[in-house]
Amino acid sequence: MNRNRITAGLFLAFALAAPHAQAADPIRIGVPTSLTGPYVALGEEVKRGVNFAVNEVNAAGGIAGRKVEAVFADTEGNPDVGRRAAEKLVLGGSKLLIGTISSAVGLAVGAQVERWDALYISSVNKSNRLTTDACNPRMFRANHSDAMDMAVVGPWLKGRKEKEWVIIAADYAWGRDSADEFAAAAAAAGKTVKGKFFAPLGTKDYAPYIQQIKDLKPDGMWVAIAGRDAVNFGVQAGQFGLLKSVFTVGQSFAVPSTISGIGEAANGVWGIVNYTATIDTPGNKAFVADWMKANNGKEPANFEAETYVAMKLLFAAIAKAGSSEPGAVAKALETASVDIPFYGNVAMRAEDHQLRLPNFMGRVAKVNGELKLVVEQTVDAATATPAPSKDCKMRR
């Protein structure tokens, strides 16, 4: 047989088979998150949120017949390590990235995704910079920013009787953003901030900070510390009597993992509630029931639920694009919307790549003998999502 005819026949066979092979290829999601370090407990929440969403979509047949796979890598909560971990995931074929905990890591990864021909969607990072001066066409946020949380805190703060406040926050992008936002909200509400304290990531001894706070004799305290650090601070603040003598409210502080670690001293602490299993709606009750069935009877925590939201949004964008190529998915994400059991329909904003979301304020209270975060105030998405920042110059 003529060699050219054989070659042409083989090429035709490959060409006919290729679309079918491509259709069967899994969609790979890269998850650079904190598997070690001070945010390891939050990284575990991200893992559970990702896996729950992946199992759910695969049980329904995948996306356009393609199964979804998640590939995890450890950022250690460190920007340099996180950037290298994310790049390794991209080089391995996982170009759709999600799951960093620290905003500093998220910013480090997000700054590279255009160069990598990848995409990053935040499910945890709160620093305003992701959707202000650091925004870019391949970076998206599907969770609440600092500014969104303060859109809820500001009006709430005006109704509080506490006049003099202190701030203690993690000493990196998110903590400093949070401190600045709270100080501005306090000033607008006619309150005074008597002191600001910033603790390095991984701080074990908070006694010097706690003593300085007590010496200032504030009426209220804003806490922007998360993960293992939040537990360390909360336990020590409880031992010093600070949480009972000073009205305490926080961001990413009054969450299930921290409440569990602090114990009884957390009772009465207030906080921004981005999600809680106690949201009293039929949709959330159904979600909680499904989650508990898949997670040994344990209720979903805030970062698990928020990661689930980001994954659902990502799946919707992949389906809308008809492709898992990052450029096509990014374009689809700009106008993507999805129904979430506990939020209702949520939609992405093209101007700054921020998902519009409702938000809540609440406090830690006993529910059937167990400490849980209970919603006291609900704010709709239109009110809870401030207008896009002029600092976001989306490069096209």
Query: In this structure, what CATH number is given to the domain that contains residue 256?
Result: 3.40.50.2300
Please state the separation of Cα 23 from the chain's center in Å: 31
What separation in angstroms does the CA of 270 have from each of 153, 216, 252, 347, 374? 11, 21, 11, 28, 9
Count of domains observed in the chain? 2
Same domain flag for 375 and 228: yes
192-199 vs 270-273, strand pairing mode: unpaired
Same domain flag for 365 and 246: yes
Residue ranges of alpha helices (H) inside the chain are 3-24, 40-59, 79-91, 103-110, 113-116, 146-158, 173-188, 207-216, 227-239, 242-245, 256-262, 282-294, 302-321, 326-333, 381-384
Q: Which pTM was predicted? A: 0.88
Q: Which residues contact 248 (CB under 8 A, 6 or more apart)?
A: 220, 221, 223, 237, 242, 268, 269, 270
Q: For residue 134, give both structure tokens.
A: 């650091």
In a domain, 15, yes or no: no
Same domain flag for 218 and 335: no
Tens digit of each residue's pLDDT, the chain (396 residues): 444 443 334 333 334 444 444 456 999 999 999 999 999 999 999 999 999 999 999 999 999 999 999 999 999 999 999 999 999 999 999 999 999 999 999 999 999 999 999 999 999 999 999 999 999 999 999 999 999 999 999 999 999 999 999 999 999 999 999 999 999 999 999 999 999 999 999 999 999 999 999 999 999 999 999 999 999 999 999 999 999 999 999 999 999 999 999 999 999 999 999 999 999 999 999 999 999 999 999 999 999 999 999 999 999 999 999 999 999 999 999 999 999 999 999 999 999 999 999 999 999 999 999 999 999 999 999 999 999 999 999 876
Q: For residue 365, give both structure tokens.
A: 């209270």
Give me the amino acid identity at 257.
S
Residue closest to 48 by CA, chosen among 384, 260, 355, 305: 305
Note the pLDDT tens digit of each residue in 149-192.
999 999 999 999 999 999 999 999 999 999 999 999 999 999 99
In a domain, 396, yes or no: no
Same domain flag for 194 and 300: no
What whole-number distance in Å separates Cα of residue 307 and Cα of residue 274?
A: 12
Same domain flag for 190 and 250: yes
In a domain, 37, yes or no: yes
Same domain flag for 353 and 288: yes
Q: What is the domain range of residue 66? A: 21-144+280-357
In a domain, 1, yes or no: no
> ∠ at Cα 157 (229, 205), nearest 5°?
20
